[in-house]
Structure 1
């Protein structure tokens, strides 16, 4: 545990010379300004405004994850062809774990800013129809549902290239938008990028229809698949990283 803490501190020091920490502040703040400014003049219903904002958050997450992880991979590759991260810990997977923890923490802070900032800002425009506990639940869903994507994109960025990682991220964002429609019924639990948007929509709909017995028939399957896939992906990535020798397939 002590070694892991030291690795996280070292990763924080590395990020201080980059824009990655600031990106986790600038991007949600920019989104807040755009959406709150637009919502102050648009005649949409409160449910429609809040739902669309949260849907957009879910849709852009895969692309942002791809960009962030590819920047980390490029930084490590430029610093010494990945050799620094391969010799900085024993066992080696602790290095990957420290980076994953750090970016999950940054992602959590960024998500809290995006969701709770919207909750506070929207309260000055109209009465907020969702209480603070629902918004906090949304934060938990967004982070928990995207741990799998962080792990996958770390692999794509380190093993292949930023082009591959970002390309997959764009495809995932498009899939999450498409699978929010009827096209995703019965299929979305098997598409990781659609987990967050479906879970959030289920939460909002259930709150709006208190007492209703309706529940997305695929919801429980989606939760089980998400949990199992996330655990397996972390174990698989840890094993792969331990055996990895720094080889990278260039663009």
Structure 2
């Protein structure tokens, strides 16, 4: 109950910022623009789906760095993180409430982006190839793979500043695009910003192709295992670090 109240308060803190506008407007505008382009494109439907999910995976690190920086800036401006460090509820509960709020909003934003796309492809353009469950799995893959990115940028904002966080977010976005090419064939399984894109590609290939199924399944299992292990380790390390964290003194 205490954690629920803290999460509720985190949502209220962001009420008068652009935080919610970013999570709602960007997926709506982005998905509509893609659908407008796809309406006149002769690209194969499977390629369209794969490309769109890839674009989401590429864009997420940069967007995560922006919204995480905004959340941490609100806390910093309110008292240089003193509120979460000296709260009667405990610092771990306070930082977890922030992370839960970020993850919930990110998941909703992801649902909006994929939902509008699926609706447009199926009911406006009458193009539908893969099953609905593939979209569900893709959403869960993207979401799970982004947890470590949220944790990383929370740490970057606390340890350094929002400028460093957004710089790293930009780098991760560029790196995600590069890992989709042949440059990432042997290293994507170990880099969080590249795992979700490759996993989505393999899931779509598995649903549309009868070739190399064993190799595809092997890559899916490896990517999922690494993503889960890296995420759990990052959460544990971040919580241990934050438990001993002291905010820098403001001049």
Provide TM-score, normalisation by structure 2: 0.94
Question: How far does residue 245 in structure 1 lie from its aligned partner after superposition?
Answer: 1.3
Question: How far does residue 23 in structure 1 lie from its aligned partner after superposition?
Answer: 1.3
Question: How far does residue 247 in structure 1 lie from its aligned partner after superposition?
Answer: 2.1
User: Do residues 28 (structure 1) and 27 (structure 2) align?
Assistant: yes
User: Do residues 205 (structure 1) and 185 (structure 2) align?
Assistant: no
Aligned residue for 2:244?
A: 243
SS in 2 for 1:18: coil
| Preserved CA contact (<8 Å) 2:121 2:128 | yes
**CA–CA separation in structure 1 for the residues paired with 2:64 and 2:249:** 20
**CA–CA separation in structure 2 for the residues paired with 1:170 and 1:248:** 28
Change in Cα spacing, 1:82 to 1:20, as seen in structure 2 (3 Å) is same
Over the residues paired in the alignment, what is the CA RMSD in angstroms? 1.7
Aligned residue for 1:167?
A: 167
Unaligned segments of structure 2, at least 5 residues: none
Aligned residue for 1:57?
A: 56
Change in Cα spacing, 1:43 to 1:100, as seen in structure 2 (3 Å) is same
Question: How far does residue 218 in structure 1 lie from its aligned partner after superposition?
Answer: 3.9
Q: Deviations over 1:148-180 (max 9, x none)?
A: 000001100121111111111111111111111
| Preserved CA contact (<8 Å) 1:93 1:239 | no
The more displaced of 18-27 and 126-135 is 126-135
Moved over 6 A (4+): none
Aligned residue for 1:192?
A: 192
Aligned residue for 1:228?
A: 229
| Preserved CA contact (<8 Å) 1:32 1:114 | yes
Aligned residue for 2:151?
A: 151
The more displaced of 104-113 and 210-219 is 210-219
Question: How far does residue 221 in structure 1 lie from its aligned partner after superposition?
Answer: 2.6
Question: How far does residue 210 in structure 1 lie from its aligned partner after superposition?
Answer: 4.4
Q: Deviations over 1:185-227 (max 9, x none)?
A: 1211111100110111010010011475343454333222211
SS in 2 for 1:59: helix
Provide TM-score, normalisation by structure 1: 0.94
Q: Deviations over 1:79-130 (max 9, x none)?
A: 1111111122443111111111111111111101111210011111132112
The more displaced of 108-117 and 205-214 is 205-214
1:30-109 equivalences under 5 Å are 30-109=29-108
Question: How far does residue 30 in structure 1 lie from its aligned partner after superposition?
Answer: 0.7
| Preserved CA contact (<8 Å) 1:180 1:194 | yes
Unaligned segments of structure 1, at least 5 residues: none
**CA–CA separation in structure 2 for the residues paired with 1:90 and 1:11:** 14
| Preserved CA contact (<8 Å) 2:6 2:97 | yes
| Preserved CA contact (<8 Å) 1:93 1:242 | yes
SS in 2 for 1:49: helix
**CA–CA separation in structure 1 for the residues paired with 2:148 and 2:162:** 18
